[in-house]
Structure 1
Amino acid sequence: MARVGNISISHIGFLTPGNYPDEDPLSGLEQTLEQLQYGEDLGFDSAWVRQRHLEPGISSASAFLAAATKAYLVAHSLGCLLAARLAGRSAARRVKGALLVAPCDLPVTENLHPGHISFGPMPTAPLPFPSIVVGSMNDAYMTVDRLTLFGRLWNAETRNIGLAGHINVASGFGRWRNGYRLLEGLKTQTRGRRHVVSMPPAFAM
């Protein structure tokens, strides 16, 4: 643990924008993976990859996990579904735990954004790593009942934080300190845990 003034620092991470040009998204993905590997070599504990909805060049979180010896996933909205689709895949062995914030319900999302999203059915297989699913009472992208359902199907701890919308900037969120606390609690929960990869995933509408 290091100290900077009166602040104790026990973990250090970095953020990479992850630029994926439309004409050559693979080159951007390769550069991002190189940055993750370089950060790990330097001793960073975590890396945060910016990803917008419908980001060109990224179809799975597996590519990023390939660059890590172990990883905690923090995902939002559609990213939660990418994380959930790791169930039954070999890449799940590299995941220590997942914090899934404001997952979107695909049928609802496709109705809100017609013609923009084609993710197929909702993943329903239990996740083989400890997970926390966080949602709200007034999220336009997933009702509380569906949040509870998928939290149970994914074998995750479910947290309803009240009237918080989609838990994003548009809902009034900035630096979400409670989110960091949830992640640290997840890390504490997973220390020393062994992983068992589940059977191939099932899906539901």
Structure 2
Amino acid sequence: MTQPTVLVLPGLGNSGPGHWQSWLEARLPALNRVDLGDWDAPEPERWVERLDAAVRAAALAAPGPVVLVAHSLACILVARWAAGSDAADKVAAALLVAPPDVESPDRVPAVVRRFAPVPTDPLPFPAVTVGSRNDPYCAAARACGFAALWGADFIDAGEVGHINDDSGHGPWPMGETLLKDLLAQL
């Protein structure tokens, strides 16, 4: 099988140098971070356009499958993009970590609520959604519900916060294992 192209999709604010996505990129240099544009004031349509362009470019550049590794707001982005893009068939799988509840004014800032409503269409590719029991941006039951709507497997990561720098996830071996398991299934 040809090598997959793995696209890393950070959420609001981008994933800084101490974030698990940055740690993973350092460990697996073949990963490619997608520049979604304005990281602090994301525009849903612009982010969808940039993801679409990145997937199409990856599919043209290499014959292997495309795999998405999304964190936080990028999980909602993936679901939104997949519901409306004819390029979704170019994606072989996705790892969706810590989706925020963009419909909750009590949990997320207004800038994130621009991505509401949460897309409810099943994803056209296999996916794993990882949620936390104490994520300040999304109740575990909601994250599990998103996974069910999207047809994704759900992994309860325990009480690990938002799985970001603030919750101590620079190095996140579980994320590396989940990605490698997903890649092995292709």
The answer as to whether partners of 1:98 and 1:129 remain within 8 angstroms in 2 is yes
Equivalent in the alignment of 1:101: 97
The answer as to whether partners of 1:68 and 1:94 remain within 8 angstroms in 2 is no
Distance 1:131 1:119 in 2: 20
- Sort the Cα spacing of 1:14 and 1:157 in 2 relative to 1 into closer, same or farther, 3 A: closer
SS of equivalent residue, structure 1 residue 99: strand
- In the alignment, residue 157 of structure 1 is paired with which amino acid? D
The answer as to whether partners of 1:133 and 1:157 remain within 8 angstroms in 2 is yes
Distance 1:92 1:46 in 2: 19
Q: 1 or 2 for the larger relative contact order (CA 8 Å, sep ≥6)?
A: 2
Equivalent in the alignment of 1:68: 58
Q: What do the CA deviations read for 1:125-171 (whole angstroms, capped 9, x no partner)?
A: 11111100001000011111111111111100100111111000000
Q: What do the CA deviations read for 1:36-63 (whole angstroms, capped 9, x no partner)?
A: xxxxxxxx84312365353479421212
Equivalent in the alignment of 2:47: 59
- Once the two structures are superposed, the pairs formed by residues 1-205 of structure 1 within 5 Å of their partners are 45-49=30-34, 52-55=39-42, 58-60=46-48, 61-69=51-59, 70-85=65-80, 86-108=82-104, 112-114=108-110, 117-189=113-185, 191=186
Q: Cα RMSD between the aligned structures? A: 2.9
Unaligned runs of 5+ in 1: 1-9, 18-43, 192-205
- Sort the Cα spacing of 1:49 and 1:135 in 2 relative to 1 into closer, same or farther, 3 A: same
Q: TM-score with structure 1 length normalisation?
A: 0.66
**Structure number, greater radius of gyration:** 1
Distance 1:80 1:96 in 2: 16
- In the alignment, residue 78 of structure 1 is paired with which amino acid? L
- Identity over aligned residues, as a percent? 40
The answer as to whether partners of 1:109 and 1:141 remain within 8 angstroms in 2 is no
The answer as to whether partners of 2:6 and 2:68 remain within 8 angstroms in 1 is no
Distance 2:75 2:179 in 1: 15
Distance 1:110 1:59 in 2: 24
SS of equivalent residue, structure 1 residue 150: helix
Distance 1:148 1:14 in 2: 23
More helix by share: 2
Q: TM-score with structure 2 length normalisation?
A: 0.72
- Sort the Cα spacing of 1:53 and 1:187 in 2 relative to 1 into closer, same or farther, 3 A: farther
Unaligned runs of 5+ in 2: 11-28, 60-64
